[in-house]
Amino acid sequence: MGCTKSSQKSELENNKENEIIYNEPNHNNPNLLKKQLTKNFILESLNNQITTENQTNKNELPLEEEKKLIEIEEKLKADQKKMRLLRKCQSHLLGMQLRKKMRVENLKKSETINFDALSEKNLPLSKDEIIKFFEEYPPKNNNNNLKIEKKEPLMLEKNKILYYGEWDMSFFTKHGRGIQLWPDGSYYKGYWENNKAEGKGEFIHSSGEVYIGNWHNNRRHGKGVYHSKKGMEYNGYWRNDKQEGKGKEVWEDGSIYDGYYLNGKKDGKGEMKWANGCKYKGNFENGNINGRGIFTFSDKRIYDGYFVNNKFEGKGIFTWPNGNKYHGNFKNGKREGFGIFTFYDGRILKGMWKNGKQDGEFDVFKPNKGIWIKKKWRENEENNKNEKENKKILFIEEKIERKKIIHDLELEKIDEIEKTEENKIDALDEDEF
């Protein structure tokens, strides 16, 4: 019992000794004040240092762990990518081995044919033409040190295709210069790579179609010339077996297109000339006339403006050979919206149009009088008869005024205009495009 009490006392005494007692400084005793200040300052600084160290340790530990976790995840991802690549490589190698075995078996079954037997097959190429081919096409540089050998003509049993040329004996594939003939009479002569046409070559179809140019992966790719069986010729660039880039197309009727293509269709800047004398220069899109361009008719009428799917649409200027001019808006190939029509004799019509005809009130300028007047070109259905009679009177009056200044040949055009009572300008209008 005594021991416990003594221990309790000692603990209390120790706690009291460790306690920090703050007393008001005694200004009368400066040495005591210095001691108290120094003790308090040291204790506070120690406490601050301990708390900051604890905070830094608490903050640093999770960051290090996160960094380690991120590094582990990145390593795992990299390992997964490597494993995928390895699997792909393994499957590719297995596929190559299987294909190689199949090619070897097919070649063993294929029939070897000599030059003398070629004439018996009724082939489109003669012996001399085959020999000339190997002279015109020099051997390619063998940068990969492949085992290239030239074999006798082989008739492949699978599809009765005849091939004569060079082989890659490492993989038993057609590689280098070679000629391949199909049972229907079509043939290809040119360069090969891994059993596919690659580089310069010529393909002549039994139907009469011919392509001479560059190939990639068995498709027309690069610059080449194509002749159709009907006589059309295309000379330009190809991509993935379709016309793409700059090219020139000439049809059997004499029509010519010179411009750009995209995905096998006219697209971009180009110039088209038809056999009937019409021509267009401007923008194409997806095989149609779209955007800004100039269309010239065979009778010298000219439209300069915007197109949508081969029709006048948007702002444009239409000019006739006799000097008449319309400057305004179009829709679906006809005048629609605000526009100004100027006659060759100086008269001007200014107003709204609809479906190619005047609509509503128009401002009309008469050069002989030097004044502007207003006319209403479209009335209600009830007053149509009266308006037609009034229009006839106006036509007659205008005809009398024009006789003073217009040549006799131009009077014939006025007679044609009088035939159309509903619309004065329709007789001078363009054909729908």
> What number of residues does the chain have?
433
Instruction: Rank 95-99, 212-216, 389-393 by mean pLDDT and report only the highest.
Output: 212-216
Tell me the pairing of strands 219-227 and 210-216. Answer: antiparallel
| Mean of pLDDT values over 353-368 | 88
- What b-and-e string marks burial along 95-104, b requiring 16 or more CB atoms within 10 Å of the CB? eeeeeeeebe
Which residues, in sequence order, are CB contacts of 311 under 8 Å at separation 6+? 332, 333, 433
**Model pLDDT, residue 285:** 97
In terms of DSSP bridges, do strands 161-168 and 265-273 run parallel, antiparallel, or are they unpaired? unpaired
Contact call for residues 326 and 335 (beta carbons, < 8 A) = yes
pLDDT confidence of residue 55 = 53
Q: What is the per-residue pLDDT for 360?
A: 86
Q: Rounded to an integer, what is the distance from CA 283 to the centroid of its chain?
A: 14
Q: What is the pLDDT of residue 298?
A: 94
Is 365 in contact with 356 (CB distance < 8 Å)? no
Q: What are phi and psi of 116, to 5 degrees?
A: -65, -30
Strand-pairing partners, residue 219, are 216
Model confidence at 162: pLDDT above 90: no
| Residue burial 58-90, b: 16+ Cβ < 10 Å; e: rest | eeeeeeeeeeeeeeeeeeeeeeeeeeeeeeeee
Work out the burial of residue 12: count CB atoms within 10 Å of its CB; fewer than 13 is exposed, 13-18 middle, 19 or more buried: exposed
Total-model pTM: 0.64
Bridge partners of 178? 165, 190
pLDDT at 99: 73
Q: Which residues of 236-275 are buried (b: 16+ CB within 10 A; e: fewer)?
A: bbbbeeebbebbebbbeeebebbbbbbeeebbeebbbbee
Asked whether the beta carbons of 326 and 339 are under 8 A apart, the reply is yes
The pLDDT tens digits of the residues spanning 307-322 come to 999 999 999 999 999 9
Place of tokens 């107003």: 351
pLDDT tens, position by position, 194-237: 999 999 999 999 999 999 999 999 999 999 999 999 999 999 99
Distance CA 363, CA 377 (A): 10
Mean pLDDT, rounded, for 301-306: 97
**Residue 243 pairs with which residues in a beta bridge?**
238
Residues 6+ apart with CB under 8 A from 229: 205, 207, 208, 209
Give the confidence band of 42 by pLDDT, cuts at 50, 70, 90.
low
Q: What is the pLDDT of residues 237-280, one digit of tens each?
A: 999 999 999 999 999 999 999 999 999 999 999 999 999 999 99
Q: Provide the residue ranges of all domains of the chain, joining segments of one domain with +.
A: 287-433
- From 114, 206, 216, 112, select the one nearest 157 (Cα to Cα): 112
Residue 272 structure tokens = 């088209």
Domain 287-433: give its CATH code: 3.90.930
The pLDDT value given to residue 377 = 66
